[in-house]
Amino acid sequence: MKKAAEAVIEYNNSGLSIIEMSHRSPEFEDVMAQSFAIFRELMNVPDDYDVMFLQGGASLQFTMIPQNLLPQGAKAGYVNTGVWATKAMKEAKMFGEVAELASSKDANFNFIPKDYNIPKDLKYLHLTSNNTIYGTQYKSFPETNIPLICDMSSDIMSKPVNISKFDLIYAGAQKNIGPAGVVIVIAKKGIFGKTGRAIPTMMDYQTHIDNASMFNTPPCFSIYTCLLTMQWLKKLGGVVTIEKMNEKKAQLLYDEIDSNPLFVGTAAVEDRSLMNVTFVMKDASLEKEFLTLAEDRGLSGIKGHRSVGGFRASIYNAMPIESVQALVDAMRDFAKAKA
């Protein structure tokens, strides 16, 4: 954060701010080159995959993916695990047929569907790896010969991923990598240009591949801050190291939820997210009182989404274990006060 702030005033003794210099300047071209290189290194991206830094967030990807990969009249499969998967399906229906292969909607999305049939005639299968609102996360991905697409916006870089299992991965950067404004796409070479439809220039992935994500002015400051975050992560030990840290943080909090007489988790135990821990109080009338206690202790942003209620602790990569411990301490002290 300090380096990013300094670069807003002046970047690398250039006499210019990172937000005012030309994106075609040697200085920023170097930022882009470093960003591509370190992202590929940290995520272990194979050589036969392209990487793009785009704009519009994951929400624009909901449209770009079917527009670029789903011919008119063809069928794509989606697994519905929450709000974002639902929105992705809605956009895909504008370009072809959408088959909802499985859903956990009837259980308020508190688990990840498993053991569903995957038809062989699908052009691709779309999954959402982590569900921020409901606190569920894929621990493994289905084996299939169908091209696999995954929205990893809320758990990208939190653990190692076998990129070769997927044809396309996309992720808004704002949870684990940098500020809002940039979305990162990893795409297997050769998968585009097969729909038979004309695609507007900015909506065509090939445009951005051919221009190294510089067809138009990229979100320069967001990309630079992503670079700083990735450098921090590399210095820390990379994705393998952060996974262990994330597991330790999540275990600390889940252990307290399971042992504390006042709280109960909302997600199926086998599908619990390492990024978003969702829980409620057994006596809902105490929730407001606990939220006040938490806020008095400087624990902000733990109120649950309105569709789930209760509480949600988002413990992304940058969240230190000391902050998780502070929440656990508040839960223990509240339970003691109510005993």
Task: Please check whether residues 96 and 208 belong to one and the same domain.
Answer: yes
151 belongs to the catalytic site: yes
What is the pLDDT, as a whole number, of residue 339? 86
Which one of the listed residues 123, 159, 175, 249 is annotated catalytic?
175
Containing structural domain, residue 224: 2-236
Task: Please check whether residues 6 and 102 belong to one and the same domain.
Answer: yes
Task: Say which residue the tokens 């200085």 belong to.
Answer: 27
Which of 184, 207, 236 finishes a domain?
236
Burial class (CB in 10 A: 0-12, 13-18, 19+), 295: middle
Question: Which of the four pLDDT bands, split at 50, 70 and 90, describes residue 193?
Answer: very high
Question: Which of the four pLDDT bands, split at 50, 70 and 90, describes residue 316?
Answer: very high
- Determine how β-strand 75-80 pairs with β-strand 97-103: parallel
Indicate the pTM of the whole model. Answer: 0.96
Which one of the listed residues 151, 155, 204, 271 is annotated catalytic?
151
Which one of the listed residues 84, 167, 204, 249 is annotated catalytic?
84
Task: Please check whether residues 79 and 174 belong to one and the same domain.
Answer: yes
282 belongs to the catalytic site: no
Task: Please check whether residues 175 and 211 belong to one and the same domain.
Answer: yes
84 belongs to the catalytic site: yes
| Segment 28-70, tens digit of pLDDT | 999 999 999 999 999 999 999 999 999 999 999 999 999 999 9
